[in-house]
């Protein structure tokens, strides 16, 4: 199929979707355009198989989304930090969900060794995490190691999020904000809560003391 036709398919899909939505709910676009007041920020992987609104059953306007390779929270990344700050300070979300997924190619790439920049630099923290746990995790085989590393990465990014100035300030000002660490199964579509929620600096400190070398 010529490339122009491939793109035209997307535009035609959009027109069909608009027609279907307005037929079922004539006020849909007027309603969603009038405000954005989500309770949740989702920080997840860019993987095309993980669609946050779809797997949580939330309509547009209720879930603010930030996605990148391997759901990394990095304080030197202005994109991620800006989204977090906007969500916490401006939108005043009540929950931030860090969600990984089994079969994450980003995590697997970090485990396999170095690659070319900028991806190599982006995955450096996960690669370091793998170095801390490689020997123990490989005792159960490669697949189990990959799954466990994906889970450990969620914990690492969850704690990184809890150390950001935006989140710390919210807690210092006694705002209701909880951080969650989830994982999604591509094979069954199920979301699982991996770690206890964190909603204060003292809870973060306890999680850090109990974490397996994040």
Q: Residue 128 pLDDT > 80, yes or no?
A: yes
98-123 average pLDDT score: 95
Q: Return the ∠ at Cα 28 (arms to 177 and 85), rounded to 5°.
A: 25
The per-residue pLDDT for 91 is 96
Q: Please state whether 146 falls in left (phi above 0), alpha (psi between -120 and 50) or beta.
A: alpha
One domain for residues 77 and 17: no
Tens digits of residue pLDDT in 60-99 = 889 999 999 999 999 999 999 999 999 999 999 999 999 9
Band of pLDDT at residue 130, cut at 50, 70 and 90: very high
The per-residue pLDDT for 115 is 86
Q: Residue 109 pLDDT > 70, yes or no?
A: yes
Q: Residue 162 pLDDT > 80, yes or no?
A: yes
One domain for residues 18 and 69: no
The count of domains in the chain is 2
The per-residue pLDDT for 2 is 58
Look up 101 and say whether it is catalytic: yes
Q: Which residue out of 66, 95, 101, 204 is catalytically annotated?
A: 101
Q: Which residue out of 104, 147, 162, 204 is catalytically annotated?
A: 104
191-205 average pLDDT score: 97
One domain for residues 109 and 150: yes
One domain for residues 3 and 71: no
Tens digits of residue pLDDT in 34-57 = 878 899 999 999 999 999 999 999
Look up 148 and say whether it is catalytic: no
Query: Measured between alpha carbons, how far is 115 from 21 in angstroms, rounded to an integer?
Result: 43
- Looking at every residue in the chain, the average pLDDT score rounds to 94
The per-residue pLDDT for 113 is 84
CATH number of the CATH domain containing 48 = 3.40.1050.10
Q: Residue 146 pLDDT > 80, yes or no?
A: yes
Among 41, 97, 45, which residue's Cα sits nearest to residue 70? 45
One domain for residues 115 and 206: yes
Q: Residue 1 pLDDT > 60, yes or no?
A: no
Given the DSSP bridges, would you call strands 63-68 and 95-101 parallel, antiparallel or unpaired?
A: unpaired
One domain for residues 2 and 97: no
Burial of 211 (0-12, 13-18, 19+ CB in 10 A): middle
One domain for residues 16 and 111: no
One domain for residues 80 and 177: yes
Q: What is the pTM of this model?
A: 0.92
By residue range, what is the domain housing residue 54? 37-210
195-207 average pLDDT score: 96
One domain for residues 88 and 143: yes
Q: Which residue out of 47, 147, 180, 204 is catalytically annotated?
A: 47
One domain for residues 147 and 115: yes
71 SS3 class? helix
One domain for residues 110 and 144: yes
Band of pLDDT at residue 133, cut at 50, 70 and 90: very high
Residues of the chain above pLDDT 90, percent:
88
Tens digits of residue pLDDT in 2-24 = 567 899 999 999 999 999 999 99
One domain for residues 99 and 200: yes
Q: Which residue out of 16, 49, 89, 206 is catalytically annotated?
A: 49
Residues 136-163 as b or e (16 or more Cβ within 10 Å = b) = ebeeeeeeebbbbbbbbbbbbbbbbbbe
């Amino acid at each position: 199929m010529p490339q122009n036709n491939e793109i035209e398919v997307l535009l035609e899909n959009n027109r069909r979707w608009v027609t279907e939505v307005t037929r079922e709910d004539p006020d849909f676009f007027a309603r969603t355009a009038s405000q954005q007041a989500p309770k949740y920020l989702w920080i997840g992987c860019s993987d095309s198989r993980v669609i946050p609104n779809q797997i949580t059953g939330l309509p547009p306007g209720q879930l603010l989304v930030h996605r990148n390779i391997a759901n990394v929270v990095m304080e030197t990344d202005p994109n991620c930090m800006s989204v977090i700050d906007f969500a916490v300070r401006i939108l005043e979300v009540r929950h931030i969900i860090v969600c990984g997924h089994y079969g994450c190619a980003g995590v697997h790439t970090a485990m396999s060794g170095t690659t070319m920049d900028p991806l190599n630099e982006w995955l450096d923290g996960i690669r370091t995490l793998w170095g801390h746990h490689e020997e123990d995790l490989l005792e159960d085989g490669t697949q189990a190691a990959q799954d466990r590393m994906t889970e450990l990465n969620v914990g690492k990014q969850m704690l990184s999020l809890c150390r950001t100035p935006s989140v710390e300030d919210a807690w210092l000002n006694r705002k209701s904000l909880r951080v969650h660490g989830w994982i999604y199964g591509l094979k069954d579509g199920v979301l699982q809560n991996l770690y206890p929620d964190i909603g204060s600096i003292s809870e973060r400190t306890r999680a850090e003391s109990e974490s397996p070398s994040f």
